[in-house]
Structure 1
Amino acid sequence: MTLSRTSTTAQEWIAHDPDPRTAAELKALSEEELAERFANPLTFGTAGLRGPLRGGPNGMNLAVVLRATWAVAKVLHDRGLSGQNVVVGRDARHGSDEFALAAAEVLAAQGFTVTLMFTAVPTPVVAFAVRRQAAVAGVMITASHNPPTDNGYKVYFEGGYPIVSPTDREIEQAMAQAPHADEIERAAVEPSGVDEVQRFVERAAQVRHTHGSARVALTPLHGVGGEFVLDALVRAGFADVHVVDEQFAPDPDFPTVSSPNPEDPAATEALLKLAADVDADVAVALDPDADRCAIGVPTPDGWRMLSGDETGWLLGDYILSQIEPGPVTEATVVASTVVSSRMLAAIAAEHGAQHIETLTGFKWLVRADEQLPGSTLAYAYEEAIGHCVDPAAVRDKDGISAAVLACDLVVAMQHRGHTLLDALDDLARRHGVHTTTAVSRPVNDAHEAAAVLDRLRRTPPDRLAGFDVTVTDLRDDDGPLRTDALILSGGDGDTSVRVVVRPSGTEPKVKSYIEVRCGDVGDLDAARVRARHLQDELAADFFGREQT
């Protein structure tokens, strides 16, 4: 896109920017920089917008929030939902309080009743409140585990479901028609929502199945989940909780970590040290908006974090074990994504439940029972440490209730004289050893990511880890799994390997998800060594190939 400083689009945006800081920022840019800001406006990815805090249509700023909210209101009006309730919440990131207030004021001016959360809250609180209140929509200002320089705008519609197409495209189209940002009407809104927060915490505490306590080490990684998960754990009977003090209070700069993501080993170093120091039974890390939860466990070689898949197997099996066998279980649905481990499908089959595989993202996972009349979703997870353990209350990933349930599982294992590692061994004996990992290739943009996939389509590998390869192109799928991704799989009677390659939906990366399964578990340790060797071989081979 060629854009000069006299461009009508850019100059009109700057002239009508309601924030003098971002207006001045845009005025100071070179022509090339200004062109970049207007070339690719933010679009709805994982149920919302996410981007760097900066001026212009491809950043998160007051003008973008006002226009996006006007667009949400228009779509609701067009669907005959005028005047009904909308929930607005925020995390503690830079700009979140200003953006949430602006969103609430626009909705109020458009005639909606608005519940504006009185304080910074976890993302699942908004999903819960939308569902419980039967609100027509919810807006959450958050960038989840992104760097401190980012923020975002997540949207829920009726039922507390994250939006999917065509809703996201309708909102984008409406944004293109929105008035200038400083011409969008706003009306005063008083914060509220205290009751909803209390109900959410009470509900999260009720996911327990056992009685008794365990010693818990906890970090919210400078996010908003600390007080909420602590309250939920205490209400659930877990009073022996030790927190990483320097990471407990919300801080938008995330000063003690290079990345506020519990999947990053460096982010959980302080947690695992605390767990060892206090002789904890389990360690819990939340991401900054507390919609994701990672679990750490003691091992003979020290503490380690479980992978998202390992936690998914454990929680899925635990939830299914609590459901009455027979017709109730047969009407029960669990779900995982196309890039997650295959083990949950085997666990579901063993219990007599239904397993559904979806595209990546909880906007798809929480709809897994949508086309199954008479069946109900009981659990969904994705490998990126997201877990939906109480779909009746929260149709999205929820780190608070997942933390309570994980601690409950620890107690359940203790009652049997077992640990979570024992439970993983038991699952491996029942379903084979599964190991998973992921490798990523950075790219400059979505076009380069698409080019990487296209090259792989044209010249896929003949063999991986010594096995002949079968290629499945999900772009050719004529069902709900149609997406820009490739599945490469192979194996023999005992061993199977699988690699799923797709562009990231939130970052400039191409991601490859690797799983190895070894069915011969006569010697569990030997099976794990072999599986990890094959996994490492696949990661090295495939990552090396993707770098060429």
Structure 2
Amino acid sequence: MNWKDNFDAWQKQNDLPADLKTEMTQLADTPDKAEDAFYQPLSFGTAGMRGIMGAGINRMNIYTVRQATEGLARLMDSLDDAVKQRGVVISYDSRHHSAEFALEAARVLGAHQIKAYLFDALRPTPELSFAVRHLHTYAGIMITASHNPKAYNGFKIYGEDGGQMPPKESDIITQSIREADMFEVPVGDVATLKEQDLLIEIGADVDSAYLEEIKTVTINRDLTENVGADMKLVYTPLHGTGAQIAGPALENAGFKNVTMVPEQKEPNGDFPTVELPNPEDHAALAMGIDLAGKIDADVAIAVDPDADRMGVAVRRGDGSFSLLTGNQIAALMLNYILTAKADAGTLPENGAVVKSIVSSDFATAIADDFGVKMINVLTGFKYIAEQIQHFEDSHDHEFLFGFEESYGYLVKPFVRDKDSIQATVLLAEVAAYYKQQGQTLYDGLQALFEKYGYFVEDTKSLTFAGIDGADKIAKIMADFRDETPAEFGGVKVVTTEDFDKQTQTQMETGDVTTLNLPKANVLKYWLADGSWVAVRPSGTEPKIKFYVGTKGATQTDADAELAAIQKSIDALIVD
């Protein structure tokens, strides 16, 4: 079927919700927009699906949500009945239609006689991951578009380990989704499902259990209770889910002086104070920094709407604030974890840290210094979750920390995804550690630079939306794959890694070895001085990303090389 056939099929539906009916009328007068909404189904992968809300098969709406849930339900129908009866836990964030989509998912599951544990109100993604493990359900569903603009929403499926659904099961779900007619997906009656105990409301009981586990994140309780009581922290959930859980978590750890940004505290799917509700975006922390300056706070913390990512601004000696990158935040937290455990005599001999292949080697230098193994995995926190499960099964390593450069961190494995609640509690403790020494987090970062070298990284994203966007991204990847750049920023490329072909090539000799990682559409180039460049399409957005990592003897040296490499990337893209 072409887009017009799909559009006509929707036009014939008599029971569309009022908002979708109105949009269909508008789309009838705008063929270009109608084509984009109907030319292909919304992509569903191992990270679930994410897209603009509205009418169409390429949009987030109750029908695409029902269809996705039907895919999960059919997978569960094929399983042993005891496994199926464990059910599914469902949570959602503050975006428009999130509560509605969550309930629709529960109704589809109920029609298959699958129990749904539905949170009574919005909750963070990490708590959903925790709840899957805590309630021993077979799966979890999180309705969220994470840090995307307000027009977006999404649907993420989690496996029984609390990590994102593994590829094998995800592929089965995808096939079932494609086979299901979105308008014929059966849904149960809410009142009947509740009477039959197929729709169970959860909330405070899971909050309490999660907060109890969060207490184990704190390493030095004497430090947090004594120094933390005098610290001033500013926190903003950016109109999302974070405040409800982060406030009690910080208080439990001893941080009593936490001020929420009042204009951003309440959930609001319009995100009225920010253009992007993304802690990676410097503008998202502007109100937090302003408030921190007014009340003389030590740190300003921001998390995205589903509270899995955390960004930080730290006070400098002159009273101004500096925004830290995700890599810098990870380095500070990792150094503190290893230092505190080493000082306490609790650093395990088989400790391991896990990071993505596009994250900084700053953390690697720190781990090496403490004799801790660093394991690199593909981008996507599910790969970090897989390593944690491997550690538990094989007992060959003890998980100490995991992170991605995109502001995602995990301290304790009772969650198997990025967890800004854990990260917030630990970051506050790290700030207390430096405050006890008369220093700031900024001072601590400078000390790490002086010890390990000046690591500087940056990510450049290019957006190619619409029908032709995927083709443009594919062409850029093909061009880089077909002709390896000889240099970046005047520095020679010495090694190329193609994670799709799973090969590592030494440019001078032509020697090729096999990469011991799953296939992925990623290219990475290592330069003669140890700097690197990586290229990959985003798995959740119409973007292609260019990652650059450099290291210099000084900040100036590292910044200069970064700028030179970025300039050469721009030239290659233009060519």
Q: So what's the TM-score if we normalise by structure 1? A: 0.92
Q: 1:408 to 1:483 in 2, by over 3 A?
A: same
- Alpha-carbon offset, residue 92 of structure 1: 1.4
Aligned position for 2:164: 162
- Alpha-carbon offset, residue 415 of structure 1: 2.4
- Alpha-carbon offset, residue 161 of structure 1: 1.0
Aligned position for 2:527: 490
Within the candidate set 377, 401, 410, 2:422 is matched to 401
Name the SS of the counterpart of 1:160 in structure 2: coil
- 2:338 is aligned with what amino acid? L
Name the SS of the counterpart of 2:27 in structure 1: coil
**Any conservation in 2 of the 1:47–1:164 contact (CA below 8 Å)?**
no
Aligned position for 2:210: 200
Within the candidate set 7, 20, 24, 1:26 is matched to 24
Structure 2: distance between partners of 1:537 and 1:411:
37
Within the candidate set 76, 95, 100, 1:93 is matched to 95
Counterpart mapping for 1:330-409 below 5 A: 330-372=349-391, 373-374=394-395, 375-391=397-413, 393-409=414-430
Task: Tell me if 1:103 matches 2:105.
Answer: yes
Counterpart mapping for 1:77-226 below 5 A: 77-80=77-80, 81-188=83-190, 189-210=199-220, 211=223, 212=226, 213=228, 214-226=231-243
- 1:260-302 deviations in whole A, cap 9, x for unaligned? 1111111111111111111111111111111111111112451
Aligned position for 2:13: 15
- Alpha-carbon offset, residue 429 of structure 1: 3.3
Aligned position for 1:473: 498
- 1:428-462 deviations in whole A, cap 9, x for unaligned? 23322211111122324222111001112233332
Structure 2: distance between partners of 1:191 and 1:17:
28
- Alpha-carbon offset, residue 506 of structure 1: 2.0
Name the SS of the counterpart of 1:159 in structure 2: coil
- 1:29 is aligned with what amino acid? L
Within the candidate set 312, 320, 329, 2:330 is matched to 312
- 2:517 is aligned with what amino acid? P
Name the SS of the counterpart of 1:79 in structure 2: coil
Structure 1: distance between partners of 2:92 and 2:449:
41
Name the SS of the counterpart of 1:169 in structure 2: helix
- 1:507-533 deviations in whole A, cap 9, x for unaligned? 222211111112x4xxxxxx1111111
- 1:184-241 deviations in whole A, cap 9, x for unaligned? 1314235223200122233224311233212101111111111221121112111111
Q: 1:138 to 1:533 in 2, by over 3 A?
A: same
Task: Tell me if 1:461 matches 2:461.
Answer: no
- Percent sequence identity is 33
Structure 2: distance between partners of 1:513 and 1:283:
26
**Any conservation in 2 of the 1:43–1:172 contact (CA below 8 Å)?**
no
- Alpha-carbon offset, residue 17 of structure 1: 6.1
Q: 1:259 to 1:368 in 2, by over 3 A?
A: same
Structure 1: distance between partners of 2:14 and 2:178:
15
- 1:72-110 deviations in whole A, cap 9, x for unaligned? 111122232222131111111100111111111222232
Task: Tell me if 1:541 matches 2:560.
Answer: no
Could you say what the CA RMSD is over the residues aligned between the two structures, in angstroms? 2.2
Q: 1:20 to 1:182 in 2, by over 3 A?
A: farther
Name the SS of the counterpart of 1:476 in structure 2: coil
Name the SS of the counterpart of 1:29 in structure 2: helix
- 1:385 is aligned with what amino acid? Y
Name the SS of the counterpart of 1:339 in structure 2: coil
Structure 2: distance between partners of 1:312 and 1:14:
53
- Alpha-carbon offset, residue 62 of structure 1: 0.4
Aligned position for 2:48: 48
Name the SS of the counterpart of 1:209 in structure 2: coil
- Alpha-carbon offset, residue 370 of structure 1: 4.0
Aligned position for 1:524: none
Aligned position for 1:449: 473
- Alpha-carbon offset, residue 244 of structure 1: 1.3
Structure 2: distance between partners of 1:547 and 1:258:
28
Q: 1:205 to 1:282 in 2, by over 3 A?
A: farther
Structure 2: distance between partners of 1:98 and 1:338:
37
**Any conservation in 1 of the 2:455–2:550 contact (CA below 8 Å)?**
yes
Q: 1:8 to 1:515 in 2, by over 3 A?
A: closer
Q: 1:230 to 1:331 in 2, by over 3 A?
A: same
Structure 2: distance between partners of 1:17 and 1:365:
43
- 1:389-415 deviations in whole A, cap 9, x for unaligned? 111x11100111110100011112222
**Any conservation in 2 of the 1:17–1:181 contact (CA below 8 Å)?**
no
**Any conservation in 2 of the 1:333–1:368 contact (CA below 8 Å)?**
no
Structure 2: distance between partners of 1:366 and 1:157:
11
**Any conservation in 2 of the 1:91–1:224 contact (CA below 8 Å)?**
yes
Structure 1: distance between partners of 2:74 and 2:546:
39
Task: Tell me if 1:421 matches 2:448.
Answer: no
- 1:540 is aligned with what amino acid? K
- 1:82 is aligned with what amino acid? K
Q: So what's the TM-score if we normalise by structure 2? A: 0.88
Within the candidate set 275, 285, 302, 1:268 is matched to 285
Name the SS of the counterpart of 2:155 in structure 1: strand
- Alpha-carbon offset, residue 23 of structure 1: 4.4
Structure 2: distance between partners of 1:461 and 1:265:
32
- Alpha-carbon offset, residue 160 of structure 1: 0.7
- 1:146-176 deviations in whole A, cap 9, x for unaligned? 1111111111110111113122221111112
Q: 1:416 to 1:90 in 2, by over 3 A?
A: same
Aligned position for 2:60: 60
Gaps of 5+ in 2: 191-198, 503-514
Q: 1:152 to 1:498 in 2, by over 3 A?
A: same
- Structure 1 window deviating more from structure 2 (68-77 vs 328-337): it is 328-337
Q: 1:456 to 1:290 in 2, by over 3 A?
A: same
Aligned position for 1:70: 70
Structure 1: distance between partners of 2:27 and 2:292:
48
Aligned position for 2:511: none
Structure 1: distance between partners of 2:135 and 2:278:
31
Structure 2: distance between partners of 1:463 and 1:226:
46
Q: 1:129 to 1:173 in 2, by over 3 A?
A: same
Structure 1: distance between partners of 2:15 and 2:175:
20
Q: 1:472 to 1:23 in 2, by over 3 A?
A: same
Aligned position for 1:528: 555
- 1:339-386 deviations in whole A, cap 9, x for unaligned? 110122222222222211111111112222444511232211111111
Structure 2: distance between partners of 1:179 and 1:193:
33
- Structure 1 window deviating more from structure 2 (413-422 vs 167-176): it is 413-422
Task: Tell me if 1:438 matches 2:459.
Answer: yes
Aligned position for 1:523: none
Structure 2: distance between partners of 1:110 and 1:436:
48
- 2:557 is aligned with what amino acid? R
**Any conservation in 2 of the 1:329–1:352 contact (CA below 8 Å)?**
no
Structure 2: distance between partners of 1:472 and 1:172:
29
**Any conservation in 2 of the 1:13–1:180 contact (CA below 8 Å)?**
no
- 2:108 is aligned with what amino acid? V
Aligned position for 1:288: 305
**Any conservation in 2 of the 1:93–1:251 contact (CA below 8 Å)?**
yes
Structure 1: distance between partners of 2:23 and 2:539:
28
**Any conservation in 1 of the 2:239–2:266 contact (CA below 8 Å)?**
yes
Q: 1:485 to 1:417 in 2, by over 3 A?
A: same
